[in-house]
Structure 1
Amino acid sequence: MHVRFGFSSAPGALTRFSGLRSGAVALLGLALAGCHGTDWSHNYQDSFETKAKTSMSYMPDTVADAFEKPKNNEPSTPVAYHRPASPSYDDRPLDENIAASVELADYTAAIRHVGLVPWITGPGPYTVFAIPNEAMEKLSARWLGGLMAPAMKGQLTHILGYTIASGKWDEKAIRKAIARNHGRGIGLKTLYGDIISVHIDARTGEIFLSNPAGQVAHLWSHSLPQSNGVLYFMRDALLPVSH
């Protein structure tokens, strides 16, 4: 059984939602486990069918940004030795590039914890708005025991599903779609049917995201091409909420 998104990648109108849903998570798990149990190999992107490329981009990295050259040949900061930022390779899938990023260590652990890795390993295309470590830690602190607690697995699954949209939505595609929509934001359908809105700041020209409650999250990076979609880094977490 090939596991694929079952919805169109075209932007859609905002609809009503009822908060974090654990029922949808259970139904998805049953659907995914139907034919091959826990064997996800049938949904993996076939590397032999992926066109090889030599292009890459550096992913955002606070460790690299914190580097200060030591003075008098002595370490003078907590990050005294230069380490280049992690590269994102255009011909590798989302799961590999995400796992290679130090800044996405918490996000990677959470994705694995709830079993959503298969959704970013398939042929796609998918667009992922990944949550970096600091934002994940702030989000987790809002719940007693943290987001990784067993009782939070359903909510965490829904939160992470809100970071995965169907379609290849790089910056060029987003700007083109918003221009066709006369400058108004567009809605992208995410894994559990929630809509994440994408806008362009009229003053700065920057792309930002919002949810139906009007909460906003800014992007930390330009779109990073992946062999099965597009990767963005967000500066803040954005939650799926009722409209």
Structure 2
Amino acid sequence: MRKQIMAVSAALLLTSPAVAGGGAGVPTGNTIAAAVANNPDFSTLLSAVQAAGLTQTLSGPGPFTVFAPTNAAFAKVPADQLQALLNNPAQLRAVLLYHVVPGRVTSTQVAGLTSATTAQGGSLTVSASGGTVQINDATVTQADLAASNGIIHVIDTVLLPPS
């Protein structure tokens, strides 16, 4: 399954308008998009962001709070489900925007929440107990990665909006 995910990621990166069409390419600077691009643990997320046309958005002024799934989180998604998602840019965009909360929300602030409204329009359930923060079914594994246009919290599971 890992090989399938990596193959999908590589194919997605090669066919991404930002890369294949000579567009913005890999983001630079200290934005959320650049932080994702510069972290090898986010290569699948980067491919998805590029395919959904969100690179420029996540390079914009923000501020944004992004709950960023790692490659291992994407590897938990069944390969056929991930492939279907990657082949549907509108649905992919909705899923990715479900990981974004408008504003800069630190881990201390997140821990005090019970829910958060996403850029996609859905609601995330937030719970904190014993130093562990859950966003829906995902656990925050690293918090407060600062960017010039927001903050990133690393999560271990891809968040899927309710149907």
Normalising TM by the smaller chain, what interval?
A: 0.7 to 0.9
Deviation at 1:110, TM superposition (A): 0.5
Match in the other structure for 1:126: 64
Match in the other structure for 2:147: 226
With the length of structure 1 as denominator, give the TM-score of the two structures: 0.52
Contact residue 166 and residue 188 of structure 1 kept, 8 A? no
Deviation at 1:173, TM superposition (A): 2.2
Structure 2 residue 104 is matched with structure 1 residue 162: no
Match in the other structure for 2:117: 189
- 1:1-243 equivalences in 2 (<5 Å): 92-139=30-77, 141-143=79-81, 145-149=83-87, 152-175=88-111, 178=112, 185-201=113-129, 204-210=130-136, 216-242=137-163
* Structure 2 counterpart SS, 1:237: coil
Identity of aligned residues (%): 26
Deviation at 1:154, TM superposition (A): 2.2
Distance 1:114 1:187 in 2: 25
Contact residue 32 and residue 150 of structure 2 kept, 8 A? yes
**Pair 1:144–1:100, CA change in 2 (3 A):** closer
* Structure 2 counterpart SS, 1:221: strand
Contact residue 129 and residue 231 of structure 1 kept, 8 A? yes
Q: Which ranges of structure 2 fall in alignment gaps of 5 or more residues?
A: 1-22
The letter for the 1-side match of 2:148 is S
Contact residue 76 and residue 157 of structure 2 kept, 8 A? no
The letter for the 2-side match of 1:208 is Q
* Structure 1 counterpart SS, 2:86: coil
Contact residue 140 and residue 147 of structure 1 kept, 8 A? no
Greater helix fraction, Structure 1 or Structure 2 = 2
Contact residue 127 and residue 229 of structure 1 kept, 8 A? yes
With the length of structure 2 as denominator, give the TM-score of the two structures: 0.75
Aligned length: 138
Deviation at 1:146, TM superposition (A): 4.3
**Pair 1:131–1:230, CA change in 2 (3 A):** same
**Pair 1:174–1:138, CA change in 2 (3 A):** closer
Match in the other structure for 1:33: none
Deviation string, structure 1 residues 185-204 (Cα, Å, up to 9, x no partner): 43222122111122211xx2
Distance 2:81 2:100 in 1: 22
Q: Which ranges of structure 1 fall in alignment gaps of 5 or more residues?
A: 1-38, 48-91, 179-184, 211-215
